[in-house]
């Protein structure tokens, strides 16, 4: 085994520049979900990234199949069983406040900066080259494989994973595999993923808009209406929000802008919610007794800055996965109706029905309507499962650590594919930069991940 590991690691080192350059090339493609077009279900940017990977995989000697722009499959071998790695090419919008251009692939201080660097373009490239090395060594007769190799590139992980739902309606589920889109040492469980809307008819006397995605902590919220600008300034100063809010007039219109700190929706406590800042200010600023006033009262009483759902009566937790986590991701006013979009990650031993019941009990008192958008049940593997044990062993061989499997609030492709778990790239103690400004991945980490992934693929494929 040590001899094979040495072979694999040497091959990865020889490919270091290629791995880095491929990552940079993908980062330069702004693969944010956009207007659909024929064979481009999630827009041109994402499709450009998919076609780039299709050409790359062909050049690396894989057989490829493009599933109508939803997913790309790259395969080596013809065995019945397989090892499957699934990465995603779509990214969340860049947000504001970057110190470097988000789509130029800037390299400095041993890091690659750019949207998608760590979520999930860098790790996807690392895993692809890891699989390529195993293919190369098998073709050279230096190792033998009992399982086929399959790499799947998805295009809608950030938008609900409709890509994988489409793909697995047309392709077999993996025998075993992983997605390089979370944390090491290995993810044995993922909390339930829920997105719901709370809406209420309101008066046509204001406009409000904030956030870009349910699974991002919003870093900006804008309010336009008829209000006392001087009073707003006094409230902002009193609350100590001078760096978090600004107010100004343009003609006869008054504007209030609040600023937060973006973070991943599964880790809202790592960010600062601009929508929550907005409603905290509006609590004193909006004095009209109308439908919007009732919504303000609801928000501050039952959400506010609480990221664990306690104010909304859904503060569930369990021993396996810890506390429920809540992120207020977006707010919009659409045709006289206020719509608040909330993303919840709920414990593995809690059911959706329990959450729905509690939320409806609260919102009915405010004449607010509840609508579920997405519910993906929790995922959980026992610690002694073959896949968990194997991936944990590989990781420990590289780190000499004794870390244990994790349960996370983040949702990955593992939910949509059977016999798959999340595996890396973040290590214990890493700064959380996914979905944030100045997202980056360490170049040394990128190469280390490629080695870990290659060895994991081999270990799973030779069994």
Using DSSP's 3-state secondary structure scheme, residue 154 falls into strand
Total-model pTM? 0.80
How many CB atoms are closer than 10 A to CB 211?
A: 25
φ/ψ of residue 169, rounded to 5: -75, -15
Beta-bridge partners for 408:
190
What is the pLDDT, as a whole number, of residue 1?
A: 60
Domain boundaries, the chain: 2-190+379-462, 192-376
Q: Is 319 a catalytic residue?
A: no
If residue 344 lies in a helix (H) or strand (E), which one and from where to where? strand 337-346
CATH number of 192-376: 3.30.70.360
DSSP string, 394-425: HHHHHH------EEESS--GGGTSTTEEE--E
Instruction: Extract the runs of DSSP E, i.e. beta strands, from 109-244.
Output: 111-113, 148-154, 176-179, 182-183, 187-190, 192-201, 206-210, 220-225
Structure tokens at 101: 């251009």
Question: Each residue's pLDDT tens digit in the chain (463 positions)?
Answer: 689 999 999 999 999 999 999 999 999 999 999 999 999 999 999 999 999 999 999 999 999 999 999 999 999 999 999 999 999 999 999 988 999 999 999 999 999 999 999 999 999 999 999 999 999 999 999 999 999 999 999 999 998 899 999 999 999 999 999 999 999 999 999 999 999 999 999 998 899 999 998 989 999 999 999 899 999 999 999 999 999 999 999 888 899 999 999 998 999 999 999 999 999 999 999 999 999 999 999 999 999 999 999 999 999 999 999 999 999 999 999 889 999 999 999 999 999 999 999 999 999 999 999 999 999 899 999 999 999 999 999 999 999 878 899 998 878 999 899 999 999 999 999 998 998 899 999 999 999 999 999 999 999 999 6
Q: What is the pLDDT of residue 115?
A: 98
Q: Is 281 helix (H, G, I), strand (E, B) or coil?
A: helix
pLDDT in tens, 142-174: 999 999 999 999 999 998 899 999 999 999 999
Tens digit of each residue's pLDDT (9 = 90 or more) over 183-214: 999 999 999 999 999 999 999 889 999 999 89
Maximum CA pair distance of the chain? 78
Q: Token digits for 288?
A: 């009209």
Other CB atoms closer than 10 Å to residue 334's CB: what's the count? 9
Place of tokens 């209000």: 227
- Sequence-separated (6 or more) residues with CB below 8 Å from residue 378: 189, 190, 191, 192, 321, 346, 347, 348, 349, 350
Residue 95: what pLDDT?
Answer: 87
* Angstrom distance (rounded) from CA 430 to CA 246: 33
Is 157 known to be catalytic? yes
Q: Which of 82, 94, 120, 157 is catalytic?
A: 157
Taking CA atoms, 42 is separated from 118, 141, 159, 175, 186, in Å, by: 21, 41, 9, 28, 30
Measured in whole angstroms, how far is the alpha carbon of residue 256 from the centre of its chain?
29
User: Among 3.40.710.10, 3.40.50.300, 1.10.390.10, 3.40.630.10, what is the CATH number of 2-190+379-462?
Assistant: 3.40.630.10
State the CB neighbour count (10 A cutoff) for residue 189: 22
């Amino acid at each position: 085994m040590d001899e094979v590991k040495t072979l694999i690691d040497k091959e990865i080192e020889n490919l270091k520049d290629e791995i880095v350059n491929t990552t940079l090339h993908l980062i330069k493609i702004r693969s944010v979900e956009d207007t659909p077009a024929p064979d481009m279900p999630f827009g041109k940017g994402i499709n450009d990234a998919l076609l780039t990977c299709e050409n790359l995989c062909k050049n690396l000697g894989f057989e490829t199949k493009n599933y109508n722009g939803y997913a790309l499959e790259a395969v080596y071998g013809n065995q019945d069983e397989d090892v499957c790695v699934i990465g995603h090419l779509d990214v969340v919008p860049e947000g504001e406040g970057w110190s470097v251009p988000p789509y130029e692939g800037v390299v400095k201080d041993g890091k690659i900066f750019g949207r998608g660097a760590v979520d999930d373009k860098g790790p996807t490239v690392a895993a692809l080259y890891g699989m390529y090395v195993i293919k190369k060594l098998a073709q050279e007769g230096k190792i033998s494989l009992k399982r086929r190799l399959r790499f799947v590139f998805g295009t809608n992980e950030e938008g609900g994973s409709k890509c994988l739902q489409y793909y697995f309606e047309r392709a077999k589920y993996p025998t075993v595999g992983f997605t390089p889109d979370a944390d090491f040492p290995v993810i044995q469980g993922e909390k339930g993923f829920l997105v719901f809307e709370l809406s209420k008819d309101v008066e046509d006397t204001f406009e409000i808009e904030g956030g870009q995605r349910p699974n991002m902590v919003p870093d900006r919220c804008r309010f336009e209406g008829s209000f006392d600008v001087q009073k707003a300034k006094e409230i902002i100063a009193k609350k100590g929000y001078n760096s978090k809010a600004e107010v100004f007039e343009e003609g006869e219109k008054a504007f209030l802008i609040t600023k937060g700190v973006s973070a991943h929706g599964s880790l809202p406590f790592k960010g600062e919610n601009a929508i929550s800042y907005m409603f905290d200010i509006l609590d004193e600023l909006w004095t009209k007794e109308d439908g919007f006033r009732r919504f303000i009262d609801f928000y501050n009483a039952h959400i506010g800055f609480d990221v664990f759902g306690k104010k909304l009566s859904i503060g569930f937790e369990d021993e396996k996965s810890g506390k429920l986590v809540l992120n207020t991701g977006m707010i919009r006013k659409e045709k006289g109706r206020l719509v608040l979009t909330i993303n919840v990650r709920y414990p593995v031993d809690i059911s959706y029905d329990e959450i729905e019941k509690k939320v409806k009990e609260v919102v009915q008192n405010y004449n607010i309507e509840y609508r579920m958008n997405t519910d993906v049940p929790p995922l959980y593997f026992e610690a002694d499962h073959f896949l968990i044990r194997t991936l944990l062993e590989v990781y420990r061989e590289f780190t000499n650590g004794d870390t244990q499997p994790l349960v996370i609030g983040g949702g990955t492709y593992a939910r949509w594919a059977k016999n798959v778990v999340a595996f890396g790239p973040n290590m214990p103690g890493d700064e959380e930069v996914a979905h944030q400004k100045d997202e980056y991945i360490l170049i040394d980490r990128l190469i280390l991940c490629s080695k870990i992934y290659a060895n994991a693929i081999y270990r799973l494929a030779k069994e």
